[in-house]
Amino acid sequence: MRVVSLVPSLTEAVAATVPEVLVGATDWCTHPADLAVARVGGSKYPDLDAVLALRPDLVLVNVEENRESDAAALRAAGVALHVTYPRTVDEALDELGRLLAALGAPGEPEWLTQARAAWSALPAVAPRRAVIPVWRRPWVVLGGDTFAGDVLRRLGIGNAYAAAAERYPRPALDEILGQGAELIVLPDEPYAFTGDDGPEAFGGTPCALVSGRHLTWYGPSLAEAPALLSAQLAQPH
């Protein structure tokens, strides 16, 4: 089987489990660091000719990460797609299991078993009301029904925008400041929030800088995500 992945987290999952099937990935597929496959451009704007030149049996895509127009073009060219769209941790774990089995994994990989165990062993904690920006200029925050939102919910973070009509609302900063948040959660992707770029906007509200990969990727990083994110959330700036 020849597989091209247009989803960085799935690239990491396949490379860690059945690397022999992976022939192409995006420029944003940064894990594993020594990944040596053909590159086919970005997740949002892949080079479809480069994808087709690799003669894939299957292309991995995600509803949020990739454009429907690119998926449609690949289908029109006769390429089979595996489409993912997990909105919860449990959905992500189950989707990963099904994908890897379909790609010929002889059994569930150790990292996936470890991830299931890590997420099933979380202690109950009192929720903290938080706003989770994922972009600025303009501000974009996590709404409801998102994978990252479920990750944080399970770690004791109550999303102030969980009931918003949009999955990724674009509130003005004044509105964010009026939410009465106990914590602002700032991941380092897709926008690269840092200690010098983000916290200054929130008027002294504690800000937790967290790993965007561990917050939004569903792959091997899920095994260490609970412990790492919990530690980062417990040490706000």
84, β-bridge pairs: 62
Is the predicted pLDDT of residue 237 greater than 90, yes or no?
no
pTM above 0.85, yes or no: yes
What tokens were used for 222? 């899920």
Neighbours of 77 (CB within 10 A): 12
Q: What's the mean pLDDT in 88-102?
A: 98
Q: Which domains does the chain have, with CATH numbers?
A: 3-85 (3.40.50.1980), 120-233 (3.40.50.1980)
Identify the burial level of 86 via C-beta atoms within 10 angstroms of its C-beta, where 0-12 means exposed, 13-18 middle and 19 or more buried: buried
| Terminal-residue alpha carbon distance, the chain | 47
Cα separations in angstroms, 124 against 45, 63, 114, 218: 41, 31, 20, 22
pLDDT value of residue 55: 98
Q: Left, alpha or beta for 133 (phi > 0: left; psi -120 to 50: alpha)?
A: beta
Percent share of the chain, pLDDT over 70: 100
The string of pLDDT tens digits covering residues 120-129 is 999 888 899 9
